[in-house]
Amino acid sequence: MAFSFEKSTRTILGAAAVLAATVGIPSYAQDKGPIKIGLILTYKGVYAPVSEGFDRGLQIAIAEYGGKITGRAIEIIRADDELTPSVGVQKFNKLVQLDRVDLVTGIVGSNVAIALSELADRGKVPVVFGFAFADEITGKFCSPYIARSSFSANGFQYNSGKYWASKGIKTAVIMGPDYSAGHSFLGAFKRGFEEGGGKVVQEIWTPFQKTKDWGAALTQAGNSGAQIIYAFYAGSEAVQVVKQHADFGLKDKLPLIGDQWVYDEALWPALGDLVIGAKHITVHFPDLENEASKKFVKAFREKFKEDPDVNAALGYDNGKAIMLTLEKLGGEIPGDRAKIISTMRDLTFDAPRGKIRFNAQNSALLEKVYLVEIVKDADGKPRRKFVDEFAGAGDLSGCAKSF
């Protein structure tokens, strides 16, 4: 009885294997079908321009390898997370279960990233975040299945705080939207600035996506006696803050210093001449003088007939990290896909933004952060000019796992 049971089970399993083999798995096993990458971004709404830049940068990196790794084509399957964790989870499950992707990448919002990180860890699906700057992604939520090819909020902003403190700035007002990203970026700046001997005399937190008039906040800031305003805003909020700051005549009295998103080139048409003379920190700009950057900018201009923005550079870094990893693995997807992530962690490569290496929690570090000034070029168009550079900081600790 036991024997026949075992036998019949085996027969069924065998039949199932044959069936599966005829249905579709053999094409995967024998002619090595494409390597599938699920790309989750926010293709509509506020972060649509950011996502489009990233997508294009990623395409450039894949095209550099002819779209193939050891003869296997790279197939990208796109999904839109609508910047909403529940939608992101749904799209993630679809990519993993239906499309059977080998790894997932992209993801703009840290809110979505946090929701996906637990899913990735449980489902043993490798995810390489391309934005998602919140410190806790590779801290509290760290996992052997998660890597981040961009950088952490602390890595970007902590040394910026120290830098400005070392340049004779003693007092600053920090100003940003009252939600997690605003707090992590400006929090990191504040820690660096105050450890460097500066003092944040006022903190202005405006309700995220609810504020239209910054008059009150800017008047308070103008009255604070600080030397600079250090801001973190993006999209329409950045346009309004920069414009209204200039309206109140604060441009010389109390300069508004920010990052690559406050003075994003997508906003230049709306800001006009107001951007001229503004200084901001960034991880990449088109005129950056290094080999990897020149190569990337040239390829991007050829394909898209315009200069890449910083989001495109982040997309390129992400694509490059994935392609180098797959190359190292010889185009084979290992049984335990944590090996994809650990292989990536051991990479060091020259990216447009500088040398990229990963820390023990699989988070990419910034070799350098650049300070640039927006100037007018010969044609009267705004252009970024290199002013200074400093090293990126490490990540905050907070990862309780070891892998």
Partner 1 sequence: MQLFLLQFLNGFQLSMLVFLLAVGLTLIFGLMNILNLAHGAFFTMGAYFGLIIAKATGSFWAALLIGPLLPFAAGFVLQFYVLQPLAERGRSTHLDLALLTFGLLFATAGAVEYLYGSSFYSIATPDLLKGRIAFLGIEYPTYRLFIIAAGISVAAALSPVIDRTLIGATLRAGVDNREMVTALGININVLFALVFGFGSALAGFAGVVAAPVMSIYSNMGIGIVVTTFVVVVVGGLGNLKGSFYASLIVGMTDTFAQAFFPEAELFAVYALLIAVMIIRPQGLFGAVGRLA
Residues near partner 1 (CB under 8 A) are: 44-46, 48-49, 204-207, 209-213, 215-217, 219-220, 223, 235-236, 239-240, 243-244, 247-249, 266-267, 269-272
374 and 275 in contact (C-beta within 8 Å)?
Answer: yes
Identify which of residues 259 and 264 has a Cβ nearer to partner 1 in the complex.
264
CB of 292 to partner 1, least distance (A): 28
CB of 306 to partner 1, least distance (A): 13
Min separation Cβ 331 and partner 1, Å: 37
**Contact between residue 41 and residue 108 where contact means Cβ atoms under 8 Å apart:** yes
- Smaller CB separation from partner 1, 26 or 272: 272
Cβ atoms of residues 342 and 228 within 8 Å:
no
Backbone φ and ψ of 306, nearest 5°: -155, 170
44/385 with CB nearer partner 1: 44
Q: Phi then psi for 335, rounded to 5 degrees?
A: -60, -50
Q: Identify the CA nearest to 156 among candidates 367, 311, 312, 315.
A: 367
**Nearest distance in Å: CB 273, partner 1:** 9
How distant, in Å, are the alpha carbons of 178, 209, 232, 249, 372 from that of 205? 5, 12, 10, 21, 26
Of 61 and 83, the one with the shorter C-beta distance to partner 1 is 83
**Of residues 268 and 403, the one with the C-beta less far from partner 1:** 268
Nearest alpha-carbon partner for 232 in 268, 179, 194: 179
Give Dmax over CA atoms of the chain in angstroms: 91
Q: How far is the CB of 254 from partner 1 (least distance, A)?
A: 13
Query: Of the two residues 266 and 288, which places its CB atom closer to partner 1 in the complex?
Result: 266
Nearer to partner 1, 70 or 223 (CB): 223
* Least distance between partner 1 and beta carbon 109 (Å): 16
Give the count of beta carbons closer than 10 Å to the beta carbon of residue 337.
18
d(CA 20, CA 10) in angstroms, rounded, equals: 15
Are residues 372 and 381 in contact, defined by beta-carbon separation less than 8 angstroms? no
280 or 320: CB nearest partner 1: 280
Note whether 392 and 370 are within 8 A (CB).
no
What's the closest the beta carbon of residue 310 comes to partner 1, in angstroms? 16
| Smallest separation, CB 219 to partner 1 (Å) | 5
Provide the minimum distance between the beta carbon of 223 and partner 1 in the complex, in angstroms, as a whole number.
5
Spell out the alpha helix ranges (H) of 249-381. Answer: 250-253, 268-271, 291-304, 310-328, 338-345
Question: What beta strand segments (E) does 150-275 contain?
Answer: 171-177, 199-206, 228-231, 256-259
Nearer to partner 1, 248 or 304 (CB): 248
The rounded distance, in Å, linking the Cα atoms of 284 and 277 is: 18
